């Protein structure tokens, strides 16, 4: 296998993390967490088996940095208290024993939380819902945003104490940071709305808090909806523009796509071709020259090898067969 796919099995080092190959398990809500936000034994076993299978880097599903308002579901992991550290440590140990690196995705759901579950009006950039027909959220003040950015930092520090090798910040998929980045959910007129620089300001605050909390050795990954694929939403060009303000201190771009109304492109419908959205990863990598994860129905290892070997296929490459 290693002989056939030399690019896939080439190690990569980001700050103090060396990953044995280019195979990344994307963050995926597993529904294995308890209602108290703890990892279950089943959960640990599930990730350990992926590590044993040879995955280079596992990025654990989105974990809640601020509870209850940032919560994304009744079976979502939490990292808003120190008491979660011991079981998270058991998880990182289990995966490290199998030779894998392990990161975790920090998240605040913002307007994608449900008031019936969190017991209050969901919060966001503005009053625009995060999906058609969704609840009307309450816009956050600057003071509240500073406090939430600190919560990301505190969560990141807990994750590093629990042994995680990488911190991923979820800035896509219609969650709180994405609610600031996307003009479809942000109609603010203050320093957090309007221009690309303003819409990226909250994300910049989060990245800075995370870096300050974890120090210089642990890599940061930024998960993006590169092309939101919705009318009036960010296109690839818009994403490249706001990334100018965000790329500092980011070591890895995790190039997802889509928002709530375009979920078929976010959790790739089966009919989409293998590697169909690698061109988004290419656009980000070509602009910023940093390691970038390509995503999207990469079911055939030869497709992964080709994407890496050719520096990512473009849409026209695909059209040409």
Ligand X SMILES: Cc1cc2nc3c(=O)[nH]c(=O)nc-3n(C[C@H](O)[C@H](O)[C@H](O)COP(=O)(O)O)c2cc1C
Q: Under the rule (CB under 6 A), what is the footprint of ligand X?
A: 26-29, 61-62, 105, 170, 173, 223, 256, 266-268, 295-298
Two tokens, residue 204: 């910049």
- CB closer to ligand X, 40 vs 297: 297
By the 10 Å C-beta count (0-12 exposed, 13-18 middle, 19+ buried), 319 is classed as exposed
- CB closer to ligand X, 190 vs 273: 273
* Min dist. Cβ of residue 189 to ligand X (A): 29
Do 176 and 203 touch, CB atoms closer than 8 A?
Answer: no
User: Which residue's entry shows tokens 């990892």?
Assistant: 39
The residue annotated as part of the active site, out of 47, 84, 152, 175, is 175
* Min dist. Cβ of residue 76 to ligand X (A): 8
- CB closer to ligand X, 90 vs 297: 297
* Min dist. Cβ of residue 27 to ligand X (A): 4
Handedness of CA 212, 216, 217, 219 (dihedral sign): positive
Helix (H) or strand (E) holding 315: helix 315-319
- CB closer to ligand X, 150 vs 170: 170
Helix (H) or strand (E) holding 85: helix 85-97
Report residue 235 CA to chain centroid gap.
Answer: 18
* Min dist. Cβ of residue 191 to ligand X (A): 27
Number of H helices, E strands in the chain: 11, 12
Residue 245 annotated as catalytic: no
Residue nearest to ligand X (CB): 26
Q: How many CB atoms lie within 10 A of CB 41?
A: 10
Which residues are known catalytic residues?
Answer: 175
């Amino acid at each position: 296998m290693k002989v056939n796919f030399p690019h896939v099995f080439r190690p990569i080092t980001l700050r103090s993390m060396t990953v044995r190959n280019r195979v990344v398990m994307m963050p995926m809500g597993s529904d294995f967490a308890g209602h108290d936000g703890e990892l279950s034994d089943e959960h640990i076993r599930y990730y350990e088996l992926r590590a044993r299978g040879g995955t280079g880097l596992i990025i654990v599903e989105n974990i809640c940095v601020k509870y209850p308002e940032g919560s994304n579901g009744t079976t979502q992991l939490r990292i808003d208290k120190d008491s979660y550290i011991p079981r998270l440590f058991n998880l990182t140990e289990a995966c490290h024993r199998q030779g894998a690196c392990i990161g975790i995705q920090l998240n605040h759901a913002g307007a994608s939380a449900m008031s019936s579950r969190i017991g209050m009006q969901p919060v966001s950039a503005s009053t625009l819902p995060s999906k058609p027909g969704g609840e009307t959220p309450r816009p956050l003040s600057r003071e509240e945003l500073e406090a939430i950015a600190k919560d990301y930092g505190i969560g990141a520090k807990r994750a590093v104490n629990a042994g995680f090798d990488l911190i991923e910040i979820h800035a896509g998929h219609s969650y709180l940071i994405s609610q600031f980045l996307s003009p479809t959910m942000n109609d603010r007129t203050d320093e957090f709305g309007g221009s690309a620089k303003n819409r990226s300001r909250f994300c910049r605050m989060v990245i800075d808090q995370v870096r300050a909390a974890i120090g210089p050795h642990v890599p940061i990954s930024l998960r993006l909806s590169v092309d939101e694929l919705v009318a009036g939403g960010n296109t690839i060009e818009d994403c490249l523009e706001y990334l100018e303000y965000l790329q500092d201190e980011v070591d890895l771009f995790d190039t997802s796509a889509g928002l709530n109304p375009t979920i078929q492109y976010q959790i790739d419908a089966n009919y989409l071709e293998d590697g169909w959205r690698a061109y988004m990863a290419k656009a980000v990598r070509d602009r910023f020259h940093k390691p970038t994860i390509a995503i999207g129905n990469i079911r055939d290892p030869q497709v992964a090898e080709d994407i890496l070997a050719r520096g990512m296929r473009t849409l026209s490459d695909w059209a040409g067969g």
